[in-house]
Amino acid sequence: MTQMVSAIPGFEQVESFQRDGAVVLRGAFAPWVEILRAGIDRLMADPSPLERSYQPEGSAPFFQDLCNWQRIPEFRDFVERSGVGGIAAALMRAREVRFFHDHVLVKEPGSSVVTPWHQDRPYYCARGPQTVSFWIPLDPVPASCALECVAGSHKWGMDHKPMRFDGTPLYADDDSTPMPDIDANRDAYRILGWDMAPGDAVAFDFGTVHGAAATVGAINRRRVFSARLVGEGATFADRNGKGSPPLAHLTLHDGDPLVGEDFPVLYSVSA
């Protein structure tokens, strides 16, 4: 089978990812735009049980669904043939890379839903020293409603209190530190954001603080395919049934190596 493999990031991009916890990769997945769009059409016509969409009154929908790569052929094709594992390996400086999960986020123009500032790490049912998500827009997205990342926040040394996107805490009696009010104090942070073209990607660490504006006033859809991967040493994290993704069929225990057919090895260097 032929591969449609994207360019491996260069030294500067790897340094930026390591230092800032986020980097933009221009055109990295451009050959995959039409394929992933077709996959999203297929998914939206037949969402999974994990679909969770938001549509406040008067707003256009924000569709989300995850863990569909084994069911949607276009997504499986991307996982197996895009070379995303090699790109992740370069950015994380990893010797082995596993796929963690896929996540589709479609904000229709006119969605009032703001993606609040958060880190993914305290939500995920995986932890590890090497992590990366690729946020891949399939439409042009101006910086005003694209993903924003707080540079260096993956090295703040803490996970902030995970909240549901409706503003309630995910865990009762969670006394961990709340996320600071970044919007009230934007000048205090180095906030990274870019005008994005279809097939570009923002690669960011699971610990990086990130968010995205609403699409009120946007002229086109904001279809995003996100691929999340881990390097060596990743383990299963038991979050008392509230971990994301909610893969209820897993038999792993907290601290077990993150292995199994849900998490295929996409890249490996033998010693």
Q: What are the residues binding ligand AKG (CB under 6 A)?
A: 105, 115, 120, 133, 135, 147, 210, 212, 224, 226
In the complex, the smallest distance separating the C-beta of residue 119 from ligand AKG, rounded to whole angstroms, is 9
Residue 94 CA to residue 92 CA, distance in Å, equals 5
* 98/210 with CB nearer ligand AKG: 210
Residue 100 CA to residue 83 CA, distance in Å, equals 15
Residue 142: asked if its preceding bond is cis (omega within 30°), the reply is: no
CB neighbours of residue 255 within 10 Å:
10
In the complex, the smallest distance separating the C-beta of residue 120 from ligand AKG, rounded to whole angstroms, is 5
Token pair belonging to 220: 């086109």
Token pair belonging to 81: 């043939």
In the complex, the smallest distance separating the C-beta of residue 86 from ligand AKG, rounded to whole angstroms, is 21
In the complex, the smallest distance separating the C-beta of residue 113 from ligand AKG, rounded to whole angstroms, is 8
Question: Parallel, antiparallel, or unpaired for β 62-66 and 96-107?
Answer: antiparallel
* 154/210 with CB nearer ligand AKG: 210
In the complex, the smallest distance separating the C-beta of residue 200 from ligand AKG, rounded to whole angstroms, is 14
DSSP E strands in 109-209: the ranges are 115-118, 126-127, 131-137, 147-150, 191-193, 201-204
* 138/147 with CB nearer ligand AKG: 147
* 204/236 with CB nearer ligand AKG: 204
* 3/164 with CB nearer ligand AKG: 164
CB neighbours of residue 147 within 10 Å:
27
Grouping H, G, I as helix, E, B as strand and the rest as coil, residue 19 is helix
